[in-house]
């Protein structure tokens, strides 16, 4: 199992389209991937789960992956957050 | 016989065996329906198929949206696809189906409820609004669970039995009817538009089959027995063989009847009778002609209003439709009944509000009088129509006449309009036959007096029975009291036929009784000569009349009139007629 932390840096937070990108990224790996706060963790392959996190700008999130491709999975998710889901701002 | 069946009411005769296709039109119901343990995995599979179909459909919408509005707007469909196949939606639904052994709709509804509640708790309004996406997607899955939609129905490429909750006429007209082996409906009735269309095309129909949509879901094959009003799910080979053989028998009987269509309608002892058709739609005249009827005994003009609703037909609209019917009918007379909206017939826009007791309310001729602008438009069209054809081809009949005064008022309106039309240069003949329907007991009791004033009388048995026995036959709690063999009803009919004979006034019948194989001999015996019925009933009634003797029927009718209860009459008739009915293969 691997874990790391990310921060939401785009203005709109983890909204529907951003969440969709996370799910797509997560779905391309075999590993189980979870994202959450210290209180609540959700399946990164579930858009409904991600949305109910209600993560706004500046929220720190834990990311955890478990499986034979966990390293690549974690890197891909981190990259998405760092790129602000490709939204530029 | 397998217990795997459901009963309804057969309203268009015939037998069909085939693959069921489900089409539900009503708002999605998510009632909890237990699933037998051995069908639980099939139910899960059904849910999975609905999810993939919903994803497919959303993808399709996405393609269209991105072509029409650009990539940016299509993004939401991306999210919808993910929601539809989201593990936190799909897994709990499958769990509930398996653990609680319930239908997929119910399970989905439970899970969606929980998800929506979770979204509602979110502080951010924009995120909380995402519950709408969840609901939207859930509805897409639900509608797929509901069976195929109209668009898919139109593209049917194989013969099927269409199972539906309700089929509005607007849907029926869009169906590829050559692919429909039969209809099994939760709602509807013998006079529903879909029933009428199906009947004229010889497609079997069962209505009132409550729960059929749910029951047919897991069936690969169903047999429809519209004689018994029975639907059998996944019939076994013996049952299939039995139904195939009955289907063959019915087709043989039909072609036999068709071959006899030009045979005269005459009893064994030489009494000649006239069979006429009741129609609702202009294109039914053709079907009636195929069975060699003597004329149209009842054209129910209200369908013209329903078709054009909420607009009202103009004088020219009326004239065009009627002209077509009368011209197609050829030499026989066409009796057009002025509009009989009201009662329970959909006419909210016409009456303007519901009545506490519509069957005893503003309907029939009363409604005609209360809406003179409608009525006069129709009368003028009818009078002009009569001017276009030889005398006697066009006859006007007034519905629900309850006494002489009402008929006189109607006749006065006809005279006024005739004078008015002539002043404006129209040809309107003097001798247009005007008749009254006898369907209120008061008119049957006063039949002598009425017969002196009218050109013809036509007995409408459905309402006459309903009003005489105070029974609404669509009310399940009292429907069994609706008894056509009631001696009270028979005596009223006898009185009307007798009044006509004494006054030299033509008396006919256009109610369902005129085609009831059990009642036809009694009516013959009472002296009735004009039987008007749905075109499809004509060949059977003709075959029956050809088996009967007028003299024996007179005796039978006299006996029946002396009896005390409906049951006594029914049993007597069944016994006396067993042989004749068997000869023409009729089951009563």
Q: What pLDDT score does B432 carry?
A: 96
Reported confidence tier of residue B51, pLDDT bands at 50, 70, 90: very high
Q: How far is the C-alpha of B148 from the C-alpha of B20, rounded, in Å?
A: 11
pLDDT of B218 > 90? The answer is no
Is the bond preceding residue B310 a cis peptide, omega within 30 degrees?
yes
ipTM: 0.88
**Strands B456-459, B506-509: parallel, antiparallel or unpaired by DSSP?**
parallel
Percent of chain A with pLDDT over 90: 48
CB contact under 8 A, B82 and A15: no
Q: Which residue of A has its CA nearest to B91?
A: A46
Active-site hit among A2, A13, A15, A41:
A15
Q: What pLDDT score does B391 carry?
A: 93
Using a CB-CB cut-off of 8 Å, the residues of chain A touching B66 are: none
CB contact under 8 A, B79 and A47: yes
Q: DSSP string covering B322-369, please?
A: HHHHHHHHTTS-EEEEPP--BTTBS-HHHHTS--SSGGGSS-HHHHHH
Q: DSSP string covering B150-187, please?
A: HHHHHT--S-EEEEES---HHHHTTS-GGGEEEEEESS
Interface list for A 19-38 with B (CB within 8 A): 19-20, 23-24
Q: pTM, whole model, 2 decimals?
A: 0.62
Query: Quick one: which H or E segment has residue B128?
Result: helix B125-128
Q: How far is the C-alpha of B178 from the C-alpha of A5, rounded, in Å?
A: 64
Q: Which residue of A has its CA nearest to B137?
A: A48
Question: pLDDT tens for residues B160-179?
Answer: 999 998 887 667 767 888 89
Using a CB-CB cut-off of 8 Å, the residues of chain B touching A49 are: 86, 88
SS3 B74: helix
Closest CA to B571 of B586, B554, B588, B583: B588
Using a CB-CB cut-off of 8 Å, the residues of chain B touching A20 are: 75, 78-79, 82
CB contact under 8 A, A52 and B122: yes
Cβ-Cβ contacts under 8 Å between A and B: the total is 51
Question: pLDDT tens for residues B66-87?
Answer: 777 666 666 778 888 999 999 9
Q: Does B37 touch chain A (CB under 8 A)?
A: no
Of B75, B88, B118, the CB nearest to A43: B88
Compute the mean pLDDT over every residue in chain B, rounded to the nearest whole number. Answer: 88
Q: How far is the C-alpha of B190 from the C-alpha of B254, rounded, in Å?
A: 21
Higher-pLDDT residue of B489, B60 = B489
Percent of chain B with pLDDT over 70: 93
Whether B510 is catalytic: yes
Question: pLDDT tens for residues B410-443?
Answer: 999 999 999 999 999 999 999 999 999 999 999 9
CB contact under 8 A, A56 and B83: no
Contact B434, B398 (CB under 8 A): yes
């Amino acid at each position: 199992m691997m874990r790391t932390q990310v921060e939401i840096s785009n203005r709109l937070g983890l909204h529907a389209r951003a969440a969709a990108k996370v799910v797509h990224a997560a779905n391309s790996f075999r590993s189980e991937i979870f994202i959450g706060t210290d209180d609540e963790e959700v399946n990164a392959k579930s858009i409904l789960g991600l949305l109910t996190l209600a993560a706004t700008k500046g929220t720190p999130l834990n990311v955890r992956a478990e499986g034979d491709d966990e390293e690549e999975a974690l890197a891909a998710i981190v990259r998405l957050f760092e790129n602000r889901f490709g939204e530029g701002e | 016989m397998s217990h795997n069946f459901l009963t309804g009411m057969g309203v268009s005769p015939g037998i069909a065996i085939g693959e069921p296709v489900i089409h539900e039109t009503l708002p999605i119901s998510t009632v909890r329906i237990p699933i037998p343990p051995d069908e639980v995995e099939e139910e899960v599979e059904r849910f999975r198929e609905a999810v993939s179909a919903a994803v497919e459909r959303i993808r399709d919408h996405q393609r269209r949206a991105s072509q029409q509005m650009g990539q940016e707007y299509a993004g939401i469909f991306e999210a919808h696809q993910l929601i539809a196949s989201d593990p936190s939606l799909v897994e709990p639904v499958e769990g509930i189906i398996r653990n609680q052994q319930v239908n997929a709709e119910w399970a989905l509804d439970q899970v969606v409820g929980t998800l929506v509640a979770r979204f509602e708790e979110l502080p951010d309004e924009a995120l909380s609004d995402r519950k709408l996406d969840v609901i939207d997607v859930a509805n897409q899955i639900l509608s797929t669970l509901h069976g195929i939609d109209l668009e898919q129905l139109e593209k049917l490429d194989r013969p099927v039995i269409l199972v539906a909750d309700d089929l509005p006429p607007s849907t029926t007209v869009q169906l590829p009817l050559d692919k429909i082996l039969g209809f099994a409906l939760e709602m509807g009735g013998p006079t529903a538009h879909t029933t009428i269309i199906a009947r004229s095309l010889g497609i079997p129909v069962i209505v009132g089959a409550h729960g059929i949509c749910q029951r047919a879901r897991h069936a690969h094959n169903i047999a429809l027995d519209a004689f018994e009003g029975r639907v059998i799910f996944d019939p076994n080979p013996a049952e299939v063989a039995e139904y195939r053989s009955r289907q063959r028998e019915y087709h043989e009987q039909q072609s036999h009847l068709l071959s006899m269509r030009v045979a005269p309608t005459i009893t064994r002892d030489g009494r000649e009778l006239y069979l006429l058709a009741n129609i609702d739609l202009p294109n039914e005249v053709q079907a009636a002609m195929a069975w060699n009827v003597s004329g149209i005994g009842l054209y129910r003009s209200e369908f013209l209003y329903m078709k054009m609703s909420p607009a009202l037909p103009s004088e020219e609209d009326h004239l065009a439709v009627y002209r077509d019917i009368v011209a197609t009918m050829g030499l026989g007379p066409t009796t057009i009944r002025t509009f009989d909206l009201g009662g329970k017939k959909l006419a909210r826009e016409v009456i303007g509000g519901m009545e506490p007791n519509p069957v005893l309310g503003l309907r029939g001729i009363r409604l005609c009088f209360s809406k003179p602008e409608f009525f006069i438009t129709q009368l003028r069209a009818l009078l002009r129509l009569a001017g276009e054809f030889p005398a006697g081809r066009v006859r006007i009949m007034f519905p629900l006449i309850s006494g002489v005064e009402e008929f006189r008022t109607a006749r006065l309106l006809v005279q006024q309009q005739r004078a008015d039309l002539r002043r404006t240069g129209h040809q309107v003949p003097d001798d247009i036959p005007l008749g009254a329907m006898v369907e209120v007991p008061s008119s049957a009791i006063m039949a002598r007096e009425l017969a002196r004033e009218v050109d013809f009388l036509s007995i409408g048995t459905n309402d006459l029975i309903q009003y005489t026995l105070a029974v609404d036959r669509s009310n399940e709690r009292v429907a069994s009291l609706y008894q056509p063999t009631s001696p009270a009803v028979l005596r009223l009919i006898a009185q009307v036929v007798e009044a006509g004979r004494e006054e030299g006034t033509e008396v006919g019948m256009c109610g369902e009784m005129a085609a009831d194989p059990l009642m036809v001999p009694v009516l013959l015996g009472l002296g009735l000569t004009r039987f008007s019925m749905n075109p499809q009933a004509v060949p059977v009634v003709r075959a029956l009349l050809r088996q009967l003797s007028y003299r024996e029927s007179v005796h039978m009718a006299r006996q029946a009139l002396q009896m005390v209860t409906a049951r006594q009459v029914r049993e007597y008739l069944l016994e006396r007629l067993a042989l004749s009915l068997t000869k023409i293969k009729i089951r009563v």
